[in-house]
Structure 1
Amino acid sequence: MTFNPDAEIQSGNTRSGGGGGMLPRGGGGGRIALGGGGGCLLLVIVIVFTLMGGNPMDLLGGGGTQTEAASSGEGGALEQCSTGEDANTDDKCLVQGVVESADSLWAQLGPDSGIEFREPQAVIFSDQVQTGCGAATSDVGPFYCPADQTIYVDDSFFGDLQSRFGADGGQFAKMYVVAHEYGHHIQNLSGTMSKVDHQETGPQSGGVRLELQADCYAGVWANHASTTTDDNGVTMLQPLTDQDIQSALSAASAVGDDHIQGDVSGGQVQPETWTHGSSEQRQNWFMTGYQEGTVEACDTFGADSV
């Protein structure tokens, strides 16, 4: 899937942020440090936990009690991102474009489903960033912070998604990641996120159902993406191709818990520890959202089995 070159993707909600010196320590805002003999494995665990919306502070023992409205650090508007052509050639602009497209869609679907819709913020960072959920480094990958209603995307992650985790590197694999994080924003607005016991693990756990619902919401966006329009009524994205769908499915498979535990880290697959779902589960729920195109189809909590 590609953006229409003439579509407008300018945004007041997406900006660059982070970078610079050491983040403050203490009070739940300390810098995440990955090191020691288990550093590589821990890096994999952190990325899979936070890639699809987990709070990195929950995993690493940070406080997560801050409620600041936005992240700190140098940065500003992505002035280079104004058209769909920019989104087709610059990953930062791609993130901004997907968020703008999702804004257009969920402003309609949200109220129809009883959700009081508010647009999220998005921050594209490198190295490190301060968030409403605490401090994070680029090691944690993309995540959504409910405290400041912001999607955070490390600008180097998409390369890792292909080289380390095995996604095909297509544009729609990247879009799937952003659309999934946007799905967590919808869960936050609906109150679903706050009702889940994030300590529970396993293939049928509440945490896995939360992640699979966000996958499904990403599929719903994919279903409607080529009908979303900019402020001038110009269609933002071109229709999906079969190759686009395969690209999204490659990303969903790449971040499955079984794939991470076995193929990526070289360990044993332990379903009882899963927090996001298997590759098959993630692919299936993305396709459910894509094929049905409705919020109601994404009721992972009402399903007997996911």
Structure 2
Amino acid sequence: MSDHIAQKTITYPSADGVSTVVATLWLPPSDVSLKGIVQISHGMVEHIMRYEAFAYALCNAGYIVAGNDHIGHGRSSAPEARGVLNPLKGSDILIKDTDTLRHHMTEQFGTSLPYVLFGHSMGSFIVRAYAGRYNEDLAGVIACGTGTVSPLLSDIGFAVAHHLCKTKSIEYRSAFVDNLGIGAYAKAVPGPTNYEWLSYNQENISSYMADPACGYMFSAGGYAALAKLTKEACSKTSASHIPSTLPFLFIAGAEDPVGANGKGVRKAAQLTKDAGVTDVTTILYPHMRHEILNEDARETVFNDVISWLGSHHGNNTSTR
């Protein structure tokens, strides 16, 4: 299989009216028939370039891949402003910026190719909420490393973070709030680096810690926006707006604290089923934690995703 994959950087205005969103496109080798488009939504306090190996696997299987650095993240933010989001509008902006990239892709490549959204962690909540809003002509949703956050917990998280926004600032970084957020995952999987919850793969942890665009503390505004996002994504109302025929794939590590070691993932899948979605698949991977795309056995995950895509859209091919 050819590995001549083209990479392209694009920019577009964020829905916040201020930021410039930076996105990366990966294009399959010219000798590979196009099967579809996969748009990746990355997780909290990281960036889209951490998904390059996954993007290459998808490209070699015939999929055009795109993904943006969310506002407050990576190239879409100044280093000092990473983790800062509008507490009231931040969740809407994340979802709308996702929609803008989708429209850019369909304008460039047309609408004949199946369009699938893939979201990891925070990105999984973005694509789940997106599916309840902008689901027309969407061909599938893959939620990776997702979980279930109760409405009460989202409300409490928002109230605490929003109070800090008003009494301090949206840029204020609270160790107390962060300890309740990401800190809770570190406590669930204790270790010398506090990042053992990410993966068993130590090389991945070291790479994450060495990356200045990863691991910073979310601001009060960021946590408030995240709480609004999880409340929408995990709500029955949002799920009820998902078309019954839209295929969903939930994938996660069986030892991922974000998904409560699988319990939260199953709840998320059941919520989708209870809303009437008829095609819902769940895969939990033994001996994997949060970042299943970066574990030693990540090729298994890559292959499962590609197999799922092929089983749903394998007959939709296009030449260039």
Settle same-fold status: TM greater than 0.5.
no
What TM-score comes out, normalization by structure 1 length?
0.30
What TM-score comes out, normalization by structure 2 length?
0.30
